[in-house]
A and B are shown apart, each in its own frame.
Chain A
Amino acid sequence: MYKAFIFILRKELLLALRQKTDVVTVLFFFLIVSSLFPFAVGPDLNTLKIIGPGVVWVGALLCSLLALHRVFETDFSDGSLEYLVLSGEPLTVLVLAKIGSHWLITGLPVVIVAPLIGLQFGLSAGSLSLLLITLLLGTPVLSLMGSIGAALTLGVRGGAALTSILILPFYVPVLIFGAGAVVADLQGLSIEGHLSILIAMLCLSVALVPIAVANAIKIALE
């Protein structure tokens, strides 16, 4: 079981290495989207400071969506998904490995670049590190919840757009508590609650999402 997890991870990372454009596209999308806001709202540093955390979070969220439909789609069309289901290993574990590698490939780079974007908005060092922590906790939740949408729309025409419509409403709580933590900190409020809720969402989705996704995949293959 553990070995199967590692093998999937290795395969996905090797694939990403062969297809670097996927990762680079997501990163550039993130940089460009979040750089649009200073142009739109003007260079006033106080305004930028207030909207900064929110902008970075929305950017990260859109990036997560951008790459999402690919989590299972290629495996579905080239037949590898059938072999995963028939491998005899628990499908939930295999699914978790796939989602984990998806986050490592598209989520983690965004988290790493985020403080740089935060600098554009004049965020302080404290806010930047808090932003990094909330993104580290929140973006895996985005990948996990998003993969339910990706699995439910497998084989559906226009699946990518449908995934976005299905999943975006569920991203809202993560966005509220993720961006909210940084804003609360700027206003001198306690952030313990925000972080606890983010951690709770992460734990819950790690435990429950693979079950939902595994079932959605089985239905898609029928």
Chain B
Amino acid sequence: MLEIQNLGFARGKNVLFENLNFSVKAGEAFRVTGSNGSGKTTLLRIVSGLCRPDNGVVIWDRDLARKNNSEFVKSVNFLGHDDGLKKQLTATENLKLMLPLLGASPSDRDVESALDAAGLEAVKHKPVMHMSAGQKRRVALTRLDFMNHRVLWILDEPFTSLDVTAISGLVLKLRKHIDSGGLLIFTTHQDFDVVSEALSLSLD
């Protein structure tokens, strides 16, 4: 279970949020909404441990996430604004060289069939720099197929630049993760029915 207590963060004099409290249990999805610049990304970066809050704590399984950071990050699957792909490498190479660092070691065939399933069959052996923004995002999201061992998924705007088919594919993936007892925190501007009972928090 993830618990956020009294979280506060300010950039200079601009207070993004303060006294934020919420919790996400296994099998729950939590959606963060808010206008541009309201602090959604910052909140997600704080929860994942990339940023330090001014006040408050993140508690993971009844223990301070910061204190137990090396254990905590092994439960976190973070997907930020940037895809983290190397533009000179192909989609397949990117995944094959990145996944082992994240604790997954899929076979070459698994990686390729996951990319095929994401509709990238024609471009999977081309350098990422020749792909469109949506295709790059699809490559980055293919990682989710191999991240079931990390239960806390923190996804920042996962639906950006995706087309309708990719969006429905992603929604299915997210539902599957939640149904199998995973936790999900995500931000989005669009209204998608990820899970009907998603909890939600507005930073506006």
Contact = CB atoms under 8 A, between A and B. Distances in A.
Contacts of A221: 50-51
B8 to A, nearest CB: 15
Nearest to A81: B84
A15 B89 CA distance: 7
B93 to A, nearest CB: 7
A80 to B, nearest CB: 4
Interface of B, secondary structure class, is: loop
A105 to B, nearest CB: 13
B89 A87 contact: no
B189 interface: no
B80 A88 contact: no
B131 to A, nearest CB: 13
B25 interface: no
B51 A11 contact: no
Contact of A79 (B73, B80, B127): B80
Interface residues of B, number: 28
Interface of A, secondary structure class, is: helix
A77 to B, nearest CB: 8
Interface residues of A, number: 26
Interface in B59-81: 70, 73-74, 76, 78, 80-81
Contacts of A78: 82-87
Interface in A8-53: 8, 10-11, 14-15, 18-19
B97 interface: yes
A15 B73 contact: no
Contacts of B86: 11, 15, 78, 80
A209 B42 CA distance: 29
A188 B86 CA distance: 51
Contacts of A3: 100
B119 interface: no
A7 B96 CA distance: 9
Contacts of A19: 88
A11 B50 CA distance: 23
Given A79-B80, A82-B78, A222 B51 contact: yes
Interface string B78-110: 101111111111000100011011110000000
Contacts of B127: 18
A16 to B, nearest CB: 9
Contacts of A83: 78, 84, 98, 101-102
Nearest to B71: A88
A89 interface: yes
B52 interface: yes
A183 B145 CA distance: 60
Nearest to B87: A78
B74 A4 contact: no
A66 B102 CA distance: 32
B135 interface: no
B148 to A, nearest CB: 15
B88 A84 contact: no
A161 to B, nearest CB: 25
A3 to B, nearest CB: 6
B49 interface: yes
B74 A88 contact: yes
B48 interface: yes
Nearest to B69: A88
Which 6 residue pairs across A and B have the least CB separation, nearest first?
Answer: A79-B82, A88-B74, A79-B84, A18-B88, A11-B97, A80-B84
13 contacts: A11-B86, A15-B86, A78-B83, A78-B86, A80-B85, A82-B80, A86-B49, A86-B73, A86-B78, A87-B73, A87-B101, A88-B74, A88-B103
Interface of B: 48-52, 70, 73-74, 76, 78, 80-89, 93, 97-98, 100-103, 127
Given A19-B88, A83-B98, A86-B49, 5 more contacts: A7-B100, A10-B97, A77-B82, A78-B83, A78-B85
